[in-house]
Amino acid sequence: MNFELFIARRILNDNENKKNAFFSVIKIAIFSISLGFMIMLFSMVIIRGFKSEIKNKVIAFGSHISIMNYDNNSSFRYKSGNNKNEKRYTRNSFKRNWKRF
């Protein structure tokens, strides 16, 4: 016999206290809803704690002072054009290296 079925029959088939059986079912329902709410609240608190902990660890990777180029370009993709040793390409220099098929 199922344990759940045994408990349900024992609560509902009690002939002496029909009203008490109904109230015990209500108490079990209220207890289960409150337990589910408490677990959900507890999990939300844990997730927020982990979120703040991860945010603090990511911020800790950064330095207090940042050394940047003179042009104040924070992008690593583009370099400044102020370098005198940088080779300048003109339109004619590209045309010289093209070959016709």
**Structure tokens that stand for 90 in this block:** 């003109």
- Decide if pLDDT at 53 tops 80: yes
Between the CA of residue 65 and those of 68, 78, 80, what are the distances in Å?
Answer: 10, 22, 21
pLDDT digits (tens, 9 = 90+) for 54-87: 888 877 777 677 666 566 566 666 555 555 555 5
Mean pLDDT across 26-32: 88
Q: Is the pLDDT of residue 93 over 90?
A: no
* Cα torsion 58, 63, 64, 70: sign: negative
What is the Cα–Cα distance from 52 to 35, expressed in whole angstroms?
Answer: 26
pLDDT at 2: 87
Q: What is the mean pLDDT of residues 1-10?
A: 80
Considering all CA atoms of the chain, what is the largest pairwise distance in Å, rounded to the nearest integer?
106
Q: What is the pTM of this model?
A: 0.40
Rounded Cα distance between 8 and 14, Å, is: 10
